[in-house]
Structure 1
Amino acid sequence: MVLLKNRLPKRLWKVLEFTTTQIMMIAVVGPFFFVFFYMFWNSLKPDYLFFEPGTWIFEPMWSNYTDVIENSDLFANIVNSLIISGTATLIGLFCGLLTSYTVTRFNMRKLVMGILLTRMIPYITALVPFWIVYKYLGLLNTHVGIILAHLVITIPFGVWIMLGFIEDIPRELEEAAWIDGASRTEAFWRIVVPLSAPGMIATAILCFIFSWNNFMLALVLGGFDVATAPVSVYKYADPEAGGSGQMMAAATMVTIPVFFIVLAIQKQLTAGLTSGGVKG
């Protein structure tokens, strides 16, 4: 690569580099936009055209959206998802920050390895034990129960991502604060936390997305009583619930909140992902 760069003119190399970057970006992002467009397009189709993929010209049916809004609990389910995902994200981020600091400053690698090993176990294998314990404790069909289950996802992920950011913060900054009379706790909150803010934002967004998109835990432990947004979409899998068009409309509406959240803080997310690294 370096040899090719030296042989090509500088302007030609910049054009080649820009073109390659754009092609790679389209290759990565393109499928996601295609899926969203296909989902939105099918949400406007009448049900009798849903299974005719070659049909591109038809009269859009916005009634699918009005029916979902008027005849379902979709917005209440979205609020449930915001509460559950937001709480699980905050707890996972807080635990990830403290654990990462402990591991890097006190050389406790075995602790982080133990936490990360839990991610190697498919959480679906714990659904039956979860359900039995929750039934005994009375946590089935409750917000608290689903939040606790989502911590199995957010805490290990928060530790894994934040570990690289905390390692990048020089210990000399904390030592200088100690010399000035600050305690370890004061140095942590006044130096480590502000410097790791970009990483915290990136970690929070990724944890929120993973929690928001989780379907199986919410379905088994919460059911339709405390339904989250993905479970709300699943209701339309029943033909009597409204048809395929309404299912696509509900799926589109569920995707929009996360899309706008990421769009609103994309600069902070990009800065966080590029300023730190994941180190083992």
Structure 2
Amino acid sequence: MTVVNENTENIKTHAGQPRPVRRPKKPLGTRAYKVFRVAALIAVVLFLVAPLFWMLLASLKTNVDIYDTAKSFIFSPTFENYANVLQRNNYFVFIFNSFWVAFVSTALSLVLGVPAAYAMSRFTMHRSALVVLMARVIPGVSLLVPWYYVFSNLKMVGGFEVLILSHMFVALPLIVYIMMSYFDSLPLELEESAQVDGLTPIGAFQRITLPLSVAGMATAGILSFIFSWNNFMFALVLSGSKTKTLPVAIFDFVSYASIDWGGLMAAATVVTIPIMIIALFTQKYIVSGMTAGATKG
């Protein structure tokens, strides 16, 4: 007995030619949702990119052209602002200062924060985790006056050490908070198997857990570096003339009487571009590290 299936693609007409199967049309609501999603995505991208685009254009203008609305997009570009930033104001020194403070504070925070996060994760140290979370909540501006008083008495204000320590206060809880979630997502059975094979708990941590947590450490390190690179408040109060970082150096373009918008935008571009390049090439680590532990259990 032959069963005729009306939905098969081999149905033929009276002329013997195959008849194409009609695909079901997508509901109007689904298409409207896709259009809305694309439009919303374009609006968000424009909202985020527009200030950066304006900053780049303004960095290539003179102050007169910046105030002239008729030259918003059509103007004669000049690189005088960048020459002023990179050559006359010696911004390469400020770039090195920012890089050094960000690198050292991030490295020390990783050295201290990763083992601490592992201990809190494996030994369920909930009270310690609560203290770390409180350190993340406390605003840094509330600590500036005590820090300045203590470090000034220790003759440390104006040095790299005080900047590194102040940046570690925010970077260390951030790294611990991220790595705790990452260690929670790693199965404990791997370490137990390694200990059965003869490794000590520290050896299992070094040989098994650490290699598996590279993505989480990369995420924590990148976010910590970005915070330190962009930090303005701590460096403004605690840095000196020889340890001034880029965000503080940008503030020099703002005077009591006027603002050098061209130089300010050029300096802001110099600060922004390295971080954008780092974020662009490391976004996969940031995404994988931030979503670690989201599906645990």
Please give the alpha-carbon distance, in whole angstroms, between the structure 2 residues aligned to 1:84 and 1:169: 32
TM-score, structure 1 as length reference: 0.87
Equivalent residue number for residue 147 of structure 1? 164
- Would the alpha carbon gap of residues 101 and 16 (structure 1) be closer, same or farther in structure 2, given more than 3 Å must change? farther
Look up the equivalent residue of 2:213 and give its one-letter code.
S
Task: Give the equivalent residue in structure 1 for 2:64.
Answer: 48
1:121 corresponds, among 121, 134, 138, to 138
The C-alpha deviation readout for 1:109-144, integer Å capped at 9, x for no partner, is 100101211222211011111111111111111111
Residue of structure 2 equivalent to 1:32: 48
The Cα shift of 1:38 comes to 1.0
Q: What residue is the counterpart of 2:287 in the other structure? A: 270
Check conservation: 1:161, 1:278, Cα contact below 8 A: no
Q: Verify the 8 A CA contact 2:159 2:240 in the aligned structure 1.
A: no
2:226 partner letter = I
Q: Whole-Å Cα distance in 1 between the matches of residues 211 and 35 of structure 2?
A: 37
Question: Which of 244, 249, 266 in structure 2 is aligned with 1:249?
Answer: 266
Alignment of 1:93-112 (within 5 A): 93-112=110-129
Query: What is the CA–CA distance in structure 1 between the aligned matches of 2:241 and 2:47, rounded to whole Å?
Result: 31
Counterpart of 2:146 in structure 1: which amino acid? P
The yes-or-no answer on 1:225 pairing with 2:242 is yes
* Mapped contact 1:236–1:242 kept (Cα < 8 A): yes
Q: What does the per-residue CA deviation read over 1:132-158, in whole Å, with 9 as the maximum and x for residues that have no partner? A: 111111111111110000011101111
Stretches of structure 2 lacking an aligned partner (at least 5 in a row)? 1-23
Please say if residues 163 and 235 of structure 2, whose CA atoms lie closer than 8 Å, have aligned partners that are also in contact. Answer: yes
1:161 paired to 2:199: no
Question: Do the aligned residues in 2 keep the contact of 1:160 with 1:278 (CA within 8 Å)?
Answer: no
Q: How many pairs were matched up?
A: 272
Q: 2: distance between equivalents of 1:110 and 1:165?
A: 19
TM-fit CA distance, 1:94: 2.7
2:281 is the counterpart of 1:236:
no
**Displacement, 1:272?**
2.6
Q: Which structure dedicates a bigger proportion of its chain to helix? A: 1
Distance of aligned partners of 1:110 and 1:82 in 2 relative to their CA distance in 1, 3 Å threshold: same
Distance 2:36 2:286 in 1: 23
Q: 1:20 to 1:223 in 2, by over 3 A?
A: farther
Contact 1:162 1:200 in 2 (8 A): yes
Question: Between Structure 1 and Structure 2, whose CA radius of gyration is higher?
Answer: 2
After TM superposition, give the deviation of residue 48 of structure 1 in Å.
1.8
Give the aligned partner of residue 175 of structure 1.
192
Q: Tell me the equivalent position of 1:196.
A: 213
SS at match of 2:71: coil
Distance 1:85-1:115 versus aligned 2 partners, 3 A rule: same
d(CA) in 2 for partners of 1:88, 1:30: 34
RMSD over equivalenced CA pairs, Å: 2.7
Q: Which amino acid in 1 is paired with 2:112? A: C
Secondary structure of residue in 1 paired with 2:67: coil
1:235/1:217 CA distance change after superposition, 3 Å: same
Would you say the 8 A contact 1:115–1:156 is kept in 2?
yes
Q: Work out the CA distance in 1 between the residues paired with 2:259 and 2:236.
A: 20
Distance of aligned partners of 1:14 and 1:169 in 2 relative to their CA distance in 1, 3 Å threshold: farther
Q: For residues 151 and 65 of structure 1, what CA distance do their matches in structure 2 show?
A: 32
TM-score for both structures, normalised by structure 2: 0.83
Q: What secondary structure, in the 3-state scheme, does the structure 2 residue paired with 1:50 have?
A: helix
Percent identity reads 36
